Amino acid sequence: MLDVRRLILVILLAAAPAFAEDVRALMLQARALQLRGGGADPVAAAAIYRRVIAQVPASAEANLRLSESLQEAQDPDGAVAPARKAVALAPQNAEAQAHLALLQFQRAQKDATLAPEAARELRTATVRLPQDPELWARLGEVSEQTKDSEGALRAWLRLGRMRPGFMPAWERALIHARAIQDYEGKREALLALNARNPEDKYLRLLEELAREQIKVGYLAHAEESFLLLARHLPQEPGLWENVALIRLQTSRYAEALEALAKAEALKASPDLTFHTARALMNLGRFEEAERRLQVLMTKKIETEWVAEGTQMLYAESLLLQGKAKALLAFLKARPPSPNTDGEALVFKTQAFVSLGEWKNAVVTLKEGIARFPKIPFFRQAGRLTPKDLEYRFFSEKGTRAALEQLHLEGMAALWQEFQRWDKCLEALERARSLSSARSVDMLILQSQAYDQLDRHAESLAVLREAQAMEPLNPLVQNNLGYLLLEQDRDLEEAATLIEASAKATPDNGNVVDSLGWAQFKLGRIAEAEATLRRAAELSPFSPEVRKHLGEVLVKQGKLVEAAEQWDRALAFIFPDRAALEKRLGDLRVRIAKEQAAKLEAPIPPPATPALGPDDEEDDQ
């Protein structure tokens, strides 16, 4: 009788090699044979991995290790199929994706037709493993191979940020940034190349960049560049002078004085003395400025604009200190100059008025109206009645008040020039006490002074006066509408006013910016985006426009572009830069978290196409 149980046992024993091999032991044995496992026989390792796959065909790990072994055995073409299968079986496995990408890069070095595929795989891998420097380096190389300068630039910049001391990454980034005229890339690469011990050629390129930045108004970036140059070339006075000029232009006068002192210590010059006097006057240190200018005028000044500017700045210092007699004596001795005669005549008129020399004031004023009718002071004077300009009427209180009012309004404009808003407002209020007649220009100036002094309710009231005088004045409409926006009141009226201003001045970037901000405040987000993009075209160097556009983009969830707009705003210098820097930092953290969440999300089925050049995630 047949023993069925014994027969079954014989069959199972015969089949045991096919079913009972210890897969884990085989994987360990094969790993030990791989080169990267410390072994020396990747061919034997590959054979063992194939035995594992025969038992567990859905093992992504076995397919990945098989591909590695084949690659080590100098069979990269044969390694492709198991690498692809490993990725398909475990799309979340970043190691498998990185291996496939690097494998394809290796193959592309021998067969250029494979470079586009290698680039695609590397882009996908950098999304999965963004902190792997080798992937970014290979992506940079293969992007160069495919003539993709933008892709190469992004890859080398990313590698440079990960390895700041790896100069080849920055050098190659600079090459591509210059080739495609990418400003941000060029700036970042040059700053990195000049951070430690730069070569002369990179210092020269950084100086070229700094001058370009000044030309386009990126003063914050220019100052950064000049300060870096000054760190490496501390004995070059011109670098400190450029830093000082930027600080003067951005109303940071105490900081400007520090830079000017460093430049003067290295090599004094009339230009530096002139700029120092400007800084001192803006700090209210008029006597110090006066003394410097007096000394400067005794010297030979070769630069025409410095020579003429010194004379006019000296005249302003005397006028602002109330030294009218000294001013008249200086102007009498001053040689004529076509470039500054009009301005000198304004100061002469004001000196006569402040001394109460009415006859001389009228004579000088008439001369100014006749010779320089376009100068604001004389244009305003031209509105006086013929009776006001006849000396015999100056015994009348009203006619003298008209001329004194003109003088005070001129003083207010001068105080505005030096941003002494308290003095500016004081002069305007005194002018107002002399006569009820007001010009819209002076009302706008008074409103600005109130606003600068944080007296916003009074600023609004003065603009309402201007509106009553000239309701269709575009500047009044814009200023009034924007002030209402900033105070979050009467938003509909604000929008109506600004829309009227924009209709009258459609190419005024400031007004278009106001309109976009009004639309944003009213919740018309799509309109606001379109309007603010138009404002950015009209005023590409306005930080206010960039800040507003960034706000709109954040509201729409376009965070990466919003960060770009805020980063561009920070190319400029403005009072609340620190606040925007903080907001930009917070936004970048938010972007990073969202991108990390995407990486942790389930990967679509393998049939989904790999990321293409236009689909890759933005580099942050």
Q: Which of the four pLDDT bands, split at 50, 70 and 90, describes residue 6?
A: very low
Instruction: Express as a percent the part of the chain with pLDDT over 70.
Output: 90
Higher pLDDT: 160 or 19? It is 160
Which residue has tokens 């209402």?
484
**Burial class of residue 276 in the structure, from the number of CB atoms within 10 Å of its CB (0-12 exposed, 13-18 middle, 19+ buried):** buried
What is the DSSP code string of 17-75? Answer: HHH-S-HHHHHHHHHHHSGGGT-S-HHHHHHHHHHHHHH-TT-HHHHHHHHHHHHHTT-
How far is residue 382's CA from residue 365's CA, in Å, rounded to a whole number? 9
- What pLDDT, on the 0 to 100 scale, is given for residue 395? 53
Compute the average pLDDT of residues 314-340.
95
Query: In this structure, which amino acid lies at residue 547?
Result: K
Give 539's DSSP letter. -
pTM recorded for the entire structure: 0.81
Q: In the prediction, which pLDDT does 337 show?
A: 92
Task: Count how many Cα atoms sit within 13 Å of the Cα of residue 405 in the half-sphere of its side chain.
Answer: 22
Supply the pLDDT for residue 7. 42
- Residue 589 token pair: 């953290």
Measured CA to CA, the distance from residue 221 to residue 489 in angstroms comes to 36
Q: How many domains does the structure of the chain reveal? A: 1
Task: Write out pLDDT tens, residues 114-150.
Answer: 999 999 999 999 998 999 999 999 999 999 999 999 9
| Structural domain for 68, as ranges | 21-91
Q: What digits encode the pLDDT tens for the residues 301-316?
A: 888 999 999 999 999 9
Residue 100 has pLDDT above 80, yes or no: yes
Residue 401 has pLDDT above 60, yes or no: yes
First-to-last CA distance in the chain? 79
Indicate which CATH number applies to the domain containing 28. 1.25.40.10
Residue 66 within a domain: yes
pLDDT on residue 390: 61
Tokens describing residue 258: 């520090």
Per-residue model confidence as pLDDT tens digits over 568-616: 999 998 888 899 999 999 999 999 888 777 766 554 544 444 434 333 3
Please tell me the distance from the alpha carbon of residue 134 to that of residue 415, in angstroms, as a whole number. 60
Mean pLDDT to the nearest integer, 95-110: 95
**How high does pLDDT run on average in the chain?**
90
Residue 231 falls within a domain, yes or no? Answer: no
Q: What pLDDT, on the 0 to 100 scale, is given for residue 396? A: 61
Tens digit of each residue's pLDDT (9 = 90 or more) over 379-389: 888 877 665 56
Report if residue 473 sits inside a domain. Answer: no
Token pair listed for 91: 């799309």
DSSP secondary structure code for residue 523 in this structure: T
DSSP state of 300: -
Give pLDDT, residue 32.
93
In a domain, 298, yes or no: no
Give the residue ranges of DSSP H helices in 383-420: 397-417
Tell me the two tokens of residue 486: 């900033």
Q: Is residue 50 part of a domain?
A: yes
**Average pLDDT for residues 216-238, to the nearest whole number?**
95
Residue 11 forms part of a structural domain: no
| Predicted pLDDT of residue 385 | 60
pLDDT for the residue numbered 193? 97
Q: What is the pLDDT of residue 391?
A: 52
Report the residue count for the chain.
620
Residue 124 CA to residue 432 CA, distance in Å, equals 70
Tell me the per-residue pLDDT of 442-496, one tens digit each, with 9 for 90 and over: 999 999 999 999 999 999 999 999 999 999 999 999 999 999 999 888 899 999 9
Tell me if 39 is assigned to some domain: yes
pLDDT digit string, tens, across residues 513-561: 999 999 999 999 999 999 999 999 999 889 999 999 999 999 999 999 9
Three-class SS string for 199-246? CHHHHHHHHHHHHHHHHHCCHHHHHHHHHHHHHHCCCCHHHHHHHHHH
Instruction: Say what the pLDDT of residue 235 is.
Output: 95
User: Residue 16 domain-assigned?
Assistant: no
pLDDT for residue 389? 60
Q: What pLDDT does residue 4 have?
A: 42
Query: Assign residue 251 a region: left if phi > 0, alpha if psi is -120 to 50, beta otherwise?
Result: left
Task: Name which of 470, 510, 476, 506 is nearest 494 in CA terms.
Answer: 476
Q: Distance between CA 383 and CA 375 in Å, rounded?
A: 13
Question: Between residues 435 and 288, which one has the greater pLDDT?
Answer: 288
Please report the pLDDT score of residue 528 as a whole number. Answer: 96
Which tens digits make up the pLDDT trace of 12-47?
334 444 444 688 999 999 999 999 989 999 999 999
